[in-house]
Chain A
Amino acid sequence: MEQENAYWQSNIRLILTCLVIWFVVSFGCGILFVEQLNEFRLGGYKLGFWFAQQGSIYTFVGLVFWYAVQMNKLDKKHNVEEE
């Protein structure tokens, strides 16, 4: 049981990390701080605009894969992976 609690705690930490990044790139960079970021540029893109229409999506893709890989490692470490 202790093993399983530790596994679940690590999973929750991992989810929170993912959700913080998820929030920062979309709601943070893409909406709340878009004006400040628009002062900077990425080629022809204003940076805030780029986050809202491109950058957040790339980050989401990376996040979902990263979560999957980390969870597979956690499964093994705590011996709860599928047979």
Chain B
Amino acid sequence: MTELKLYTYIAVFGSFAIYFAIAWLARAKTTSDFYAAGGGITPLQNGMAIGADWMSAASFLSMAGLIAFLGYGGSVFLMGWTGGFVLLATLLAPYMRKHGKFTVPEFIADRYDSKTARIVAIVCLIVASVTYIIGQMKGVGVAFSRFLEVDYDLGLGIGMIVVWVYAVLGGMKGITYTQIAQYCVLIFAYTIPAVFISLQLTGNPIPQLGLGSTLADGSGVYLLDKIDMVVTELGFKQYTTDNMGGTLNMFAYTMSLMIGTAGLPHVIMRFFTVPTVKDARASAGYALVFIALLYTVAPAVGAMARFNLMSTIEPSAGQQLEYEKRPQWFKDWEKTGLLKFEDKNGDGKINYVADPAKNEMVKVDRDIMVLANPAIANLPNWVIALVAAGGLAAALSTAAGLLLAISSAISHDLMKGIITPNMTEKSELKLSRIVMTIAVIVAGYLGLNPPGFAAGTVALAFGLAGSSLFPALMMGIFSKKINGRAAVAGMCSGLGITMMYVFQHKGIMFIPGTSFLGGMEENWFLGISPNAFGVVGAIVNFSVAFIVTKVTGDAPLHIQQLVDNLRFPRGAGAAADH
């Protein structure tokens, strides 16, 4: 066994042992433990747990890679995925905490006094969460297969068992404490390589400052200017100004990610775990601090990875790397097929340019940047091992949060709330564990046999949550008049139009060849890409709900009193089941 492999085994299985120990110590005994961690989490703990819950395999593995190749355009992810917390903190979390129930569909059911609304909310929640969880399962499989060189299927199976043990045993309580540990693992795994690389390139150990510093090679040139220079010379767009699909698309994309963030049920649920409204407000602040730690480092990781990649392939202007002299990490990733070289002009040198006819780096997968980064920068093996454990922590913590959201929607909202209201607490607890087990199996199955739509899944989850749940929740708090029928019509039309737009450009259920308007940019509505369409769906949702209320009349008086009540913090007990 190589040294790297040994370190990786220690890091990965050591972290799993910690998660199991925590889950055993914090196992759930009541439904309140299972759904809301008994309502006894402090804001600081909750903030950390939200951080891990929120930052998924996409944030940890993919985002910096996207930024590395999109440059300025990658800002939509940075602003979108953090700005959503401002909406969550001011528009939703405190009031939903005041209402004091366990789940998002339950809040919608109470506010709109409608079983139909609850069912629509359950459907929206399940569709958004299931699409999201497939991405996490794939992340687990990829991390295992790359680092431990086990089979993708076996890696995914191990991941399923780990998440099953602590999520089913501990419920929200176990998940919360495990997520706190997972946050610590993932933030160290993310920042340590970044600190090393920033120090190497700029002499400044703080990546956020390093990105704005001059290169340490004595040239006195700023890092970002150098990147701009290198990439434009090779015909790529300028790094710091390349705007993805134009200003309107950037605008809509950012807004869609923000409202999607605010509307994701597995994140909202975490606010039910603190004892007071005041704590809910503080949790949002702490959560954003912990998230911002990773999100402000990510642009440095992305830019520095791009710089290192470019300067490996072309050490100085016009002098290209000979293919035979390529470094070990290059060979490793070639084996996975995620990095591909084709010597088009037969000179034995690597010619990496923007022009597709001359470019010889025929494949550079964006997702490998974070994983390959420590090796590209020649960092020690224990750092690489840490990155593996961090990627797994990010994927598992998000998967657990999603599983809980799904199982509570089924056991608490669908079964207890609608089909069998007389169920005892004990049987509900048992049922939620069974449902969660089934959810783990389904998620694992989908991870093994990713349906055609797996590629676009995470973006779709945001579009769905943003266009359906966010408007319904916000109107429920800020308008006393919107009634149940209006909410149902709004959610259905917002969800419907977003799905239709995505399907018509990306294929029905993403099956290639069924996209009846084509994926072509010229057919995009006002140039808005399908991933950025959630905001349009949300506007439709708001408008429809408004019109239907105008036609069918205001919500009844007892609902208006309920809204009054949730606007004032006084009288908030712990989240409870009545």
Contact = CB atoms under 8 A, between A and B. Distances in A.
Interface of A: 4, 7-8, 11, 14-15, 18-19, 22, 26-27, 30-32, 34-35, 38, 42-46, 49-50, 52-54, 56-58, 60-61, 63-65, 67-68, 71-72, 75, 80-83
Interface in B534-568: 564, 567-568
A44 B243 CA distance: 19
A44 B212 contact: yes
B111 interface: no
B278 to A, nearest CB: 6
Contact of B94 (A22, A61, A71): A71
Interface string B82-124: 1101110111001000000000000000000000000000000
- What secondary structure prevails in chain B residues at the interface with A? helix
Given A46-B224, A71-B281, A64 B86 contact: yes
Interface size class of B (residues with CB under 8 A): 35 or more
Contacts of B212: 42-45, 50
A53 B86 contact: no
A80 B570 contact: yes
B299 interface: yes
27 contacts: A7-B568, A19-B90, A26-B254, A31-B251, A32-B251, A42-B212, A44-B212, A46-B224, A49-B241, A53-B67, A53-B72, A53-B296, A54-B299, A56-B78, A56-B82, A60-B83, A60-B86, A61-B289, A64-B284, A64-B288, A68-B281, A68-B284, A71-B281, A80-B568, A80-B570, A82-B276, A82-B277
List of 3 A-B pairs having minimum Cβ-Cβ separation, nearest first: A44-B222, A52-B75, A68-B281
Interface of B: 67, 72, 74-75, 78-79, 82-83, 85-87, 89-91, 94, 208-209, 211-214, 222-225, 240-241, 243, 247, 250-251, 254-255, 276-278, 281-282, 284-285, 288-289, 292, 295-296, 299, 564, 567-572
Contacts of A31: 75, 247, 250-251, 254
A46 B85 CA distance: 26
A41 to B, nearest CB: 9
B278 A75 contact: yes
B552 to A, nearest CB: 25
A71 B98 CA distance: 14
B572 A60 contact: no
Given A8-B567, A57-B296, 7 more contacts: A32-B251, A45-B211, A46-B241, A53-B296, A65-B285, A68-B89, A68-B278
A31 B94 CA distance: 30
B247 A15 contact: no
Contact of B570 (A49, A61, A83): A83
Identify which of A18, A44, A81 gathers the most chain B CB atoms within 10 Å of its CB: A44
B531 to A, nearest CB: 16
A60 B277 contact: no
Contacts of A75: 278, 569
Contacts of B571: 82-83
Nearest to B298: A53
A54 to B, nearest CB: 6
A75 to B, nearest CB: 6
Identify which of B72, B86, B564 gathers the most chain A CB atoms within 10 Å of its CB: B86
A80 B222 CA distance: 53
A35 to B, nearest CB: 8
Given A64-B288, A71-B94, A75-B569, A26 B83 contact: yes
